[in-house]
Structure 1
């Protein structure tokens, strides 16, 4: 793949990242004179029809979401060797994981960004999709024309339709962000699985620490004493091991986070 300079009309510029099943490239769409991100299935999985279908399913689910809060898919195609690829909008401002490289964020900013990620997840849920792998590296930032930052949810490699999610039989998700029901094969899930993961993202943005295992999460005010009790309660409710005790929807979590951000006193990094 290193020797390929173009994929269709897209001129490759540099590698953005490599995951378990594919590589994402920054490319330039010469016809539209615009940067794009191109995801290509890895060569070592090219012979696996199930992996190929999962790869294409991600593109279909992104397209199905049809929301400006979720990364948009512009094109799909196939390399001469038969490997599929799809073309997405490029998020030029990095990810929440990149922001965390400098340590925990100002509390109000952390809450606002988590609220935006929650609204992105709610857009997926409204489209009948559960993400199953919400974490800082899958929450992208893009500079809007007015200079503000847009938050985009990406990487639907583990996503499923909510109609299928109640009967899932395989564990999925990333440690620290994964709710207990996703760690147990055969346990059905719903949109509240993503609520847990969003709570973990907010917790990390506020404290700089990935939460411990479900049920063993250290209250955020112990790691950052300036955290308001209302903020701590909001995050800990999202991180409830029992999904019945969490925020009922990602939208409800977003609304509470926005309220906390509007009244919270902490505006600087610790």
Structure 2
């Protein structure tokens, strides 16, 4: 079994242009972890190395159960790596085409709440897509965590021109064409694409190359509708059309607002619990039950 530092690599979880993520085992802490390793052909590029380590620092700085956390960094054979939470359950990509509408709306809302955590810390992700959204099957209902901040950018720096990065099918027009900067509403657009895909099993726009796809996105005044036979409430269709608007001002203005609207328009069947504390009614009813049981036992003893 290959070893990276003290970590035993067990299998590949995913790979991209710049790095590979492995499932690994930490023998000292007796726990599974995920290890992201910079690709060998980029290891000598100082700029790429710095971006790679900047992602690790950013993930470490954002302390939230909705964002993957970094625990360690290292270098082996001149290739940097960092160690993260291992999240059981795979990614949202594995749910495409296999979701009932209620589950799709729950997962999409969970993704929205996770993205809002980034925005609250002043970060825009720039590459929201199903493979970057992890499923934590250890929670009930299933929680979604956001990962891969390799393309992330500080919101304060996103108002001017920047290098175009991201996955074309999920990129907002202003992000793809660099028209006057962008903000967190670009991630809301991507969440709209992800939600459409979870509900229908396909992306709302074609699968051509970057130029063809982004032109179609930017020139489409009315995004495709959700098929009526899915039984999705009309409010969800209107919400997704808004989220996929060319004009950021016509979209839900925050990821939180988008997620809340998904649960509200979808009937709230999969709404996550807001608090684990019992309500006053539950406490009151429990007190009555205890009183009655005590009274009955006292009567029997007599």
CA distance in 2, matches of 1:239, 1:104: 23
Q: Secondary structure at the match of 2:9?
A: strand
The runs of 4+ residues in structure 1 deviating greater than 6 Å are none
Paired position in structure 2 for 1:268: none
Query: What displacement does 1:104 show?
Result: 4.9
Query: What displacement does 1:116 show?
Result: 0.5
Any gaps of 5 or more consecutive residues in structure 2? 206-215, 270-302
Paired position in structure 2 for 1:52: 49
Q: Secondary structure at the match of 2:183?
A: coil
TM-score (normalizing by structure 1): 0.90
Paired position in structure 2 for 1:107: 101
Q: Is residue 219 from structure 1 mapped to residue 225 from structure 2 by the alignment?
A: yes
> Which residue of 249, 259, 263 maps to 2:254?
249
Paired position in structure 2 for 1:127: 121
Count residues with an aligned counterpart: 256
Counterparts of 1:9-158 in structure 2 under 5 Å? 9-79=6-76, 81-100=77-96, 103-144=97-138, 148-158=141-151
RMSD between aligned alpha carbons?
Answer: 1.6
Paired position in structure 2 for 1:185: 178
As a proportion of its length, which structure holds more helix?
2
Q: Which has the larger radius of gyration?
A: 2
The answer to whether the 8 Å contact 1:138/1:154 transfers is: yes
CA distance in 1, matches of 2:141, 2:7: 27
Q: Secondary structure at the match of 1:176?
A: helix
Query: What displacement does 1:86 show?
Result: 0.4
Query: What displacement does 1:60 show?
Result: 1.4
Any gaps of 5 or more consecutive residues in structure 1? 265-270
Distance 1:109 1:225, change over 3 A: closer
> Which residue of 258, 266, 270 maps to 2:263?
258
Q: Secondary structure at the match of 2:145?
A: strand
